[in-house]
Structure 1
């Protein structure tokens, strides 16, 4: 494979990771925006609403473990596609909730599984394609999705709530999450070894197995 094609594959991995981080942090940041109108509309206390968020983060943590197993075997694409469905359903089903359980269960389960598919997949995929000095740069680009989501999605949700209500805002967010993660799944690539490629970048200070580093006493304790 020529170098231009290889670099293109690596950049697509970063794009997919950017979208995953965008959705993950968008999910987290919009909760605070939706919480107040939900409390007013459904007459629930803040502690009741945040319980679902806490349960969602618990499911997120458990899912993250299994996500790593999926990535090791099949790459990030299945994780992104599963995340698109679960994140979309997390918002969509919750937007129709009338009872407390009707809110807690879909949000905790679907949103938890959906977001749990994103963090490990986004970080590990970039790490597999870029090492050393290249990894810091490329992960920096990918992580830009986080602040962009916190600004854009939070402001967009606020504007929708002003003109309609929180249910419409959630349905809009479900579409955003689904579309963004489907795109991430489409552009995502397998590990570089599957394309007979090596990760981009150089690891500074690496010593070969056949070489030994000679230290003076002063260097060892400096």
Structure 2
């Protein structure tokens, strides 16, 4: 009897082990995705590359991370979750490890942009959604909330450590530490991860049926994923959700996640302290996102998004002026902004379900998340270009704040005015 089979027959449900392994993989991937903010200034100093050039590699990483998401479920259906996780983590480790040998900017674009971006596109929120839907009949919301929070936890765990290692031993040592973290969890996933409860003779957690589940995966082709996009694009709500999430990505991962540490260094704040600001944001984001999920079950989700984007916009407009105050003023910004970091996710998911039906949430939210990452990529590159041209992030912060205020107005229109073809789309089941 294998160890996995033995564990499956203990008093706890094997799904919790699968969820734990998924959380660990998402945590490591999130930590790796947050690393560029620590590496920008060291790379700039060692190689003389402009911030715009470095930001280009980061933006490509973010684009691929978003665009691969809608297709990841298709590949997982064909070759399995465990195989995809092992392969993706190996690709991420390879890409990050090889950056220590690079000597030209095109190598940064290839390795961090293409290789790491492609690998991290699979170890993303779509993985958590698939695991929850397969392994849990009860407590799906709780488990999905915990897995979503791994993004914040990864940032909280990795950023201060990376900044400290980079400051004391150099950015290459920090990159090798990330490589080691990715490689370290591969054996556990290979040994204990399972695709479905039926693989260990169980049904999903909370499903008290007496028979063992025998699952026949639905056909889920690339063409059906693209067809879902085509149908969604004919609906106004898709563009309102896509556009608001584009701005969400631009104002979080792309701008703050990538450029806050370099901006702090520009104002004389040490890198380790600056990384601490992002860690504070990660901590408070955990609570903010959990509370947002609770509120999304009780309040109008359009109004919640309006408040989130509006308050975020005001905070970003204030941010460049807060550098004139003490570090503690920035800490207050980090707490306030952190509560709002990805609080937009739960109400956005609910609005996607309302617009396209619960059976279509997976694929349609995947495409809207792609919009989030396109926005992040645009801001990551655009802010780097503005910093290179003007020597300041002032314009980038102000513009991002204004875009958030525009999003706050736009989300109020979601679901308000049916457009031609909406009734037809509501009756169509998209293959997800």
Q: Same fold (TM over 0.5)?
A: yes
Segment drifting more, 191-200 vs 71-80: 191-200
Match of 1:60 among 65, 87, 91: 65
Identify if the C-alpha distance between structure 1 residues 6 and 73 changes in structure 2 by more than 3 Å, giving closer, same or farther: farther
Q: Distance in 1 between matches of 2:173 and 2:39?
A: 11
Q: Distance in 2 between matches of 1:141 and 1:4?
A: 25
**Correspondence for 1:200:** 205
**Correspondence for 2:132:** 126
**Correspondence for 1:80:** 85
Q: Distance in 1 between matches of 2:25 and 2:128?
A: 6
Q: Distance in 2 between matches of 1:28 and 1:103?
A: 14
List runs of 5+ in structure 2 lacking aligned partners.
208-432
Segment drifting more, 14-23 vs 136-145: 136-145
**Correspondence for 2:107:** 102
Q: Distance in 1 between matches of 2:190 and 2:51?
A: 35
Question: In 1, are the aligned partners of 2:13 and 2:205 still within 8 Å (CA)?
Answer: no
Alignment of 1:1-222 (within 5 A): 5=10, 7-119=12-124, 120-131=126-137, 133-201=138-206
Identify if the C-alpha distance between structure 1 residues 185 and 121 changes in structure 2 by more than 3 Å, giving closer, same or farther: farther
List runs of 5+ in structure 1 lacking aligned partners.
203-222
Q: Distance in 2 between matches of 1:186 and 1:47?
A: 42
Q: Secondary structure, in 3 states, of the residue corresponding to 2:42? A: helix
Q: Secondary structure, in 3 states, of the residue corresponding to 1:95? A: helix
CA displacement 1:175-208 (0-9 Å, x = unmatched): 1122124423432111124445332247xxxxxx
Q: Distance in 1 between matches of 2:193 and 2:133?
A: 14
**Correspondence for 2:251:** none
Q: Distance in 1 between matches of 2:39 and 2:33?
A: 11
Q: TM-score, normalised by structure 1?
A: 0.80
* Displacement after TM superposition at 1:42 (Å): 1.4
Q: Distance in 1 between matches of 2:97 and 2:113?
A: 13
Question: In 2, are the aligned partners of 1:84 and 1:181 still within 8 Å (CA)?
Answer: yes
* Displacement after TM superposition at 1:7 (Å): 4.0
Root mean square deviation, CA, Å: 2.3
CA displacement 1:119-143 (0-9 Å, x = unmatched): 1223311221113x51112223333
Identify if the C-alpha distance between structure 1 residues 47 and 186 changes in structure 2 by more than 3 Å, giving closer, same or farther: farther
CA displacement 1:145-186 (0-9 Å, x = unmatched): 322221221111111111111111111111112212442343
CA displacement 1:32-88 (0-9 Å, x = unmatched): 111121111111122111111111122223433442123213331011111121110
Segment drifting more, 42-51 vs 67-76: 67-76
Q: Distance in 2 between matches of 1:113 and 1:183?
A: 22
Q: TM-score, normalised by structure 2?
A: 0.43
